[in-house]
Structure 1
């Protein structure tokens, strides 16, 4: 997996087949970033970071700062190793639960969330619309969010959606 565009175009991002996560495919990333346009001077939050590919791609395209949040210890360690490929970037890498982090964070211009597909299962007790509301609360005015989820999940907030196989990408804006 490599950065698609920007000043770090072509930089490799390490992944592990032993971990239970789904790095965002390059065709999905291209579609997301094409729709977002310029990220110059944006503050970015990458929840459920995994490899960090969405945050690293944002930095490559001009984001001024990126905060990565990953709960899984071994994935967190891999994320920290991936960050060493980037010099002079304003990164914060947090090992934390996404919801706990959101409750206490500052506002961001752009929030990515790509939770595990079973994160909103009936047994988890986590409501998808409540999660989207939490993201909106932590976005600056005119801020945007990109939420990846199983194609069968619907959210109440008005969003643009695009489906890639089993994955639905929802892009919303705080008005």
Structure 2
């Protein structure tokens, strides 16, 4: 699934959402209730940004929080769908008698594909939940490698980023 992160243009449309709040079903981190204005204001003051960047605004933080929560819900639905598909596949292929090798191979490929999709969605869900946790904790946007700010622009494009561009480039070279 490919979605773009919230931009400055969409920030004002996302005022109803917030980066912190209550809990969701199944013990997930996503929130359905907005944070208090005081909490959002505390976060705008505490989140680090690069020297050449303006501090986070409450509208930007609300947009990022809303985006992350929507992504969590989307990944949960994808995982549920993939698990249902896999269960249906297992039920329908339990007989297997009289299949030729091509049919068996196609079913194995389909099963492996569903497992890979579910695992990918689980990984993305964990990354998104972690980003939301960091946003709530006031540690969002800090490079996990060097401790410097990741950069507001990078986070607005890729809200799950955990490394600054310098550290990410070094990681990709190795």
Q: Please classify the TM superposition score into its range, dividing by the shorter chain length.
A: under 0.3
Who wins on radius of gyration, i.e. which is larger?
2
**Scaled by the length of structure 2, what TM-score is found?**
0.23
| Larger RCO (CA within 8 A; separation ≥ 6) | 2
When you count helix as a share of all residues, which structure comes out higher? 2
**Scaled by the length of structure 1, what TM-score is found?**
0.23
When you count strand as a share of all residues, which structure comes out higher? 1
